[in-house]
C-alpha cells in the first residue's frame, strides 16, 4: 500500500503564520525598505518566537489510529436476503440508528475484542471514539468487555460517542433495497449512476462527500485531543471509507475501486513523519476466532 497520508493541523498553522507575517509586513513596510538588515534580524526573531510556541505537527497525531465497522447487524442480514430475491422491502420498522447486531455480529465483536487484547501494548487502543448508533455502540461495548476480560485494557475505559461517525443518511432511499429504488425512484437511480457515489446526494440524505466533511472535522478534534495515544474508531461502512479517502488522499477513481468495508474488519494507520500512514486495510483474519 502506498505511503500516503494527511497533515491535519500543519496546513492551518502555516496559514496562521503567513497571515500574521503578512500583517507585520504591512505595518512595517517603510521600515523594511530603509533597514533591510534590521528587517532580516526582526523576521528571524519572529520566526524563532513562533516556532517556540507552535506545537509539533507530529505531536498532534494519535500514535496509532484503528478503524472498524460495526459487527453484522440485523439489517445487514435482511438486506442480503432482499437483494438475493429482488424484494421491494425489508421487514425493518425501527430507525436506522436503533438497528441492533445479529447473533453473528455479536460474535464478531467478541473476536474484535480478542484481537484488540492481542495487540502489542504500544498499539493497544486506550481511547475509543464511537458512532452513537445502536449497532456501533453494541460492538464497542462487547469488544471492550472482551479486551478488558483478558486484562488488556481497564474495565473502566470510557467510550466517547460522536455523531460525526454516524452512518450515511440516505433520505428518501432509506431502508429501500436496490430493486425498490429502481421501481419507486427510477429518476434517482439514474441520477445516482450518472453522478457516482462520491457526489450523489439523495433527497433528504447525504453524499459520500458530505460524510467526508464531517469525518475531516472529527479528525481535527481527535488529533488535538488524542495526541500520542493509540485510538480505536467504531463506525460504519461509509465513514470508514471516507476516513481512508481523507487520510490516504485518494482520488475518486481510487475510492470507488475499493470493495465494501467488512463487518468488524480492522484498518490501521501509524503516525510517521507528521502524517498518519496506512499499515493495514479491511483485515478480517481475526474473525476466525470463536467460529464453530
d(CA 223, CA 229): 9
Average pLDDT over residues 258-285: 97
For the segment 175-202, what is each residue's pLDDT rounded down to a tens digit?
A: 999 999 999 999 999 999 999 999 999 9
Q: For the stretch 195-210, what's the b/e string if a residue is b when 16 or more beta carbons lie within 10 angstroms of its beta carbon?
A: eebbebbbeebbbbeb
Locate 18 and state its grid cell: 503567513
C-alpha count within 13 angstroms, C-beta hemisphere, residue 55: 16
Ramachandran category for residue 182: left, alpha or beta (phi over 0 → left; psi -120 to 50 → alpha): alpha
Locate 125 and state its grid cell: 487502543
Query: Rounded to the nearest 5°, which phi and psi values hold at 285?
Result: -60, -35
For the segment 144-177, what is each residue's pLDDT rounded down to a tens digit?
A: 999 999 999 999 999 999 999 999 999 999 999 9
Average pLDDT over residues 52-62: 57
- What integer pLDDT is reported at residue 290 of this predicted model? 57
- What integer pLDDT is reported at residue 55 of this predicted model? 39
Cα dist from 36 to 29, 161, 283, whole Å: 10, 55, 59
Q: Look up the pTM and report it.
A: 0.80
d(CA 29, CA 52): 25
Does the CA dihedral 58-62-63-66 come out positive or negative?
negative
- What integer pLDDT is reported at residue 10 of this predicted model? 40
Q: What angle do helix axes 208-225 and 237-247 make, rounded to 10 degrees? A: 70
Amino acid at each position: 500500500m502506498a505511503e500516503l497520508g494527511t497533515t491535519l493541523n500543519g496546513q492551518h498553522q502555516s496559514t496562521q503564520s503567513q497571515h500574521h507575517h503578512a500583517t507585520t509586513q504591512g505595518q512595517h513596510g517603510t521600515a523594511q525598505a530603509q533597514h533591510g538588515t534590521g528587517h532580516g534580524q526582526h523576521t528571524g526573531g519572529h520566526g524563532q518566537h513562533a516556532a517556540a510556541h507552535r506545537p509539533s505537527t507530529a505531536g498532534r497525531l494519535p500514535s496509532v489510529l484503528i478503524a472498524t465497522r460495526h459487527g453484522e447487524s440485523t439489517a445487514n442480514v435482511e438486506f442480503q436476503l432482499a437483494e438475493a430475491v429482488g424484494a421491494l422491502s425489508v421487514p425493518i420498522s425501527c430507525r436506522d440508528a436503533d438497528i441492533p447486531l445479529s447473533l453473528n455480529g455479536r460474535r464478531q465483536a467478541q473476536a474484535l475484542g480478542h484481537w484488540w487484547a492481542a495487540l502489542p501494548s504500544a498499539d493497544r487502543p486506550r481511547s475509543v471514539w464511537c458512532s452513537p448508533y445502536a449497532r456501533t455502540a453494541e460492538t464497542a461495548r462487547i469488544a471492550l468487555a472482551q479486551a478488558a476480560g483478558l486484562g488488556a485494557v481497564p474495565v473502566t475505559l470510557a467510550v466517547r460517542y460522536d455523531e460525526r461517525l454516524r452512518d450515511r443518511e440516505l433520505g428518501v432511499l432509506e431502508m429501500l433495497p436496490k430493486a425498490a429504488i429502481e421501481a419507486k425512484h427510477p429518476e434517482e437511480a439514474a441520477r445516482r449512476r450518472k453522478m457516482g457515489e462520491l457526489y450523489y446526494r439523495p433527497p433528504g440524505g447525504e453524499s459520500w462527500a458530505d460524510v467526508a466533511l464531517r469525518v475531516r472535522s472529527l479528525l481535527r478534534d481527535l488529533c488535538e485531543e488524542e495526541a500520542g495515544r493509540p485510538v480505536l474508531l467504531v463506525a460504519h461502512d461509509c465513514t470508514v471509507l471516507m476516513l481512508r479517502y481523507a487520510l490516504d488522499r485518494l482520488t475518486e477513481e481510487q475510492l470507488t475501486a475499493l470493495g465494501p468495508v467488512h463487518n468488524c474488519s480492522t484498518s490501521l494507520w501509524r503516525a510517521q513523519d507528521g502524517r498518519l500512514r496506512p499499515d493495514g486495510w479491511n483485515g478480517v483474519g481475526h474473525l476466525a476466532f470463536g467460529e464453530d
